[in-house]
Amino acid sequence: MGWYLEVLKKYAVFSGRARRKEYWLFALFNFIFVFLLAITDGVLGLTSDSGQGVLSTVYQLAVLIPSIAVGVRRMHDTDHRGWWLLVPIVNLVFSIREGTKGPNDYGPDPKADVSARGVTPAPLATLR
């Protein structure tokens, strides 16, 4: 859930890089929320003649910009321009691939930049 909220905090940030984990966990939670809102729309009778629910439509409009922004940052992590997001199969391939190790044209490696995000990794002894 933290990765989902992290994307929402960067509502319209199109610069920088996004890890695979950030991108795919946002996509997972987004799918779950849309699914639950669609069920709620159906139960409450808030669906239109086309089958689109009011709550799910409002939610999808609210997360449209963050979804595009995290997609662009994901393309940046693979060292590609954000416009590749518009090419369906290619953007899927790029979003699945591991990001560029080390800094690239779009910023530092998000995996290596853990301390800059304010997250301190736990010592291995405490993970048992």
Kindly report, residue by residue over 22-37, the tens digit of the pLDDT.
Answer: 999 999 999 999 999 9
| CA–CA gap between residue 122 and residue 103 (Å, rounded) | 24
Q: Is the pLDDT of residue 88 over 70?
A: yes
- Could you give the percent of the chain with pLDDT greater than 70? 88
Residue pair 106/13 in contact (Cβ under 8 Å)? The answer is: no
| CA–CA gap between residue 62 and residue 57 (Å, rounded) | 9
| CA–CA gap between residue 100 and residue 74 (Å, rounded) | 11
Give pLDDT, residue 71: 96
Q: Is the pLDDT of residue 111 over 70?
A: yes
Give the amino acid at 25.
L
User: How is residue 34 written in tokens?
Assistant: 């849309």
Q: pTM for the whole thing?
A: 0.82
Q: Is the dihedral of CA 78, 25, 73, 57 positive or negative?
A: positive
More confident residue, 2 or 121: 2
Give residue limits of the domains in the chain: 2-109
Residue pair 4/30 in contact (Cβ under 8 Å)? The answer is: yes
Between the alpha carbon of residue 18 and those of residues 34, 59, 63, 81, 111, the distances in Å are: 22, 22, 16, 13, 9
| CA–CA gap between residue 78 and residue 41 (Å, rounded) | 38
